[in-house]
Amino acid sequence: MSKRETILAAVATALSGTVSVGSRIYRSRVEPLSRGESPAIVVEPISDICTQDTFNTFEWILTFKVSVIVRGNVPDQLADPIVTDVHSKLKSNATLLGLVVNLIPTNVTFELIEADQPAGIISAEYSAQYRTSLNSISS
């Protein structure tokens, strides 16, 4: 498994027990969520940029997003405690932080959707800096 996938799996694991979400944490889910499946979290990669760090290592910047999906009046307010808990869990998880050199929040976007019940997707993006050897992207 690549170090990128190891980091993304660690992100999803770190989010276990997030307030109001329960076990509704998904990796790169593409099918729509039913009304009963929200609030939920979707973790997905955006990009992974590489540069050569030393003669023996590559340095990578993995950008990923954690999307919080909610339904109800004022979706951004409903999502706020979940987004706050997500940030706290990511920035304090020893396993995740042991895999990366640095983890930086970079952007939060808000998509409010009119449906049979108001819905919202609040996406928090993070940049995870990590290193691999020249010969293997898994170590």
CATH number at residue 124: 3.30.70.1700
| Nearest-angstrom CA–CA distance, 60 and 50 | 4
**Number of domains the chain is built from:** 1
Q: Is residue 41 part of a domain?
A: yes
| Nearest-angstrom CA–CA distance, 126 and 114 | 27
25-42 confidence digits (pLDDT tens): 999 999 888 888 999 999
Query: By the 8 A CB rule, do 41 and 68 touch?
Result: yes
Instruction: Give the per-residue pLDDT at 33.
Output: 86
75-125 confidence digits (pLDDT tens): 999 999 999 999 999 999 999 999 999 999 999 999 999 877 899 999 999
Instruction: Give the per-residue pLDDT at 53.
Output: 80
Question: Whole domain around residue 95: which residue ranges?
Answer: 3-133
Q: Is residue 127 part of a domain?
A: yes
Instruction: Give the per-residue pLDDT at 115.
Output: 75
| Nearest-angstrom CA–CA distance, 20 and 1 | 31
Instruction: Give the per-residue pLDDT at 107.
Output: 97
Q: Is residue 139 part of a domain?
A: no
pTM: 0.94
Q: Is residue 138 part of a domain?
A: no
Q: Is residue 13 part of a domain?
A: yes
DSSP state letter for 22: T
Which residue, 21, 118, 8, is CA-closest to 60? 8
